[in-house]
Structure 1
């Protein structure tokens, strides 16, 4: 069984983190370690993480890529999993990851993200995000699509072998968004990327804030422009942080 480290970047995630950590406590088999990497929270995020008994790291620079790289540097597992603080995973997550990465041809994997709220499930947005994993690389990088490229995003709970993550340079810390897609473009040089046919549940807070139609339009707009080479720094203005 592979030793799995779970890295969770946080910034003011008190409303979501407790539930996510409670779900991690019942994983069977359990992960080797859970590392919460905080970027300067001003709410109860750190207290919640400490009460859960996980490793709590404070990063002196804010940024999801920076925080995830910091966690990956201190992780000791064979595999590193990047989990958003507002995303819940099935209790057999570690076994799933072990089975997927038992195939040496697979370098990275992720799950199907189902966006949910307190009283609703965002079926339409979730379906589009599922399809985007396939159609985006087919449209913009067809030569890589047939080599095994799938474009995974953060709420899909990306996982890969820690050694290969660093061989590819880790996340690009200069990117304010799309750092996950950028990593996929480099990882596919080492093997296939697989979307696992299992669901994780992510908060719909961004969709709830924007509305389903606006959210889908923004996801599509940002994805297309990134696909044709528009700078992530420019695209960040359309993708506000929502807590």
Structure 2
């Protein structure tokens, strides 16, 4: 309602982040798209950074660098999320790691060329979790994946609700389930804290 009152176009679709991302990118009219979660705050010059980054045709997909914050800044989880972009592909998709591919996740505010997203088939429709990791694997066929050194601030509500140890254990467990192809279990093991 707030978005509509502000004059924004609001889309409705079936539940599920993958379906929502697909619907949003499909409805977009600009050549570049950015997936920003509702609990994330990108930098004020987001559009300029996206244009500048994707002007390099070698880059297929990019993101901002997430900082988990809210009740307080979660430095350890933020650092782990940064490191995970390297070790996750090393553990789960070593052939991509050795090509320099990073796995980016929802808190990163990923951006890409709309045409490439549609050509690759977008997100796997039923995915409720880890849809961005799948996108990284798909986009790796088209070029480099890069995280720009600009901060996107993301809510720490999950960590605040579950505690840092439990939240990070869940992130790790869901990543392993994704790596071994147990998609049906991922959403069950990733509780909604809203």
TM-score category by the smaller chain? over 0.9
Distance 1:148 1:99 in 2: 21
Distance 2:100 2:119 in 1: 18
Query: Equivalent residues in 2 for 1:217-232 (5 A)?
Result: 217-227=169-179, 229-232=180-183
Unaligned runs of 5+ in 2: none
Unaligned runs of 5+ in 1: 1-46
Provide the secondary structure at the position in 2 that maps to 1:176: coil
Distance 2:37 2:54 in 1: 21
Aligned match of 1:76: 29
Matched, 1:175 2:109: no
1:200-223 Cα shifts (integer Å, max 9, x gaps): 100000001110011111111221
Aligned match of 2:144: 192
Provide the secondary structure at the position in 2 that maps to 1:56: coil
Query: Equivalent residues in 2 for 1:33-112 (5 A)?
Result: 47-59=1-13, 61-112=14-65
Distance 1:166 1:214 in 2: 36
Q: 1:216 aligns with which of 165, 168, 189?
A: 168
Provide the secondary structure at the position in 1 that maps to 2:10: strand
More strand by share: 1
Aligned match of 1:241: 192
Aligned match of 1:31: none
Distance 2:170 2:24 in 1: 29
Is contact 2:60-2:113 (8 Å) kept?
Answer: yes
Distance 1:193 1:73 in 2: 22
How many pairs does the alignment contain? Answer: 194
Distance 1:70 1:140 in 2: 28
Distance 2:159 2:131 in 1: 20
Runs of 4+ in structure 1 deviating by more than 3 angstroms, as ranges, are none
The two structures have a TM-score, normalised by structure 2, of: 0.96
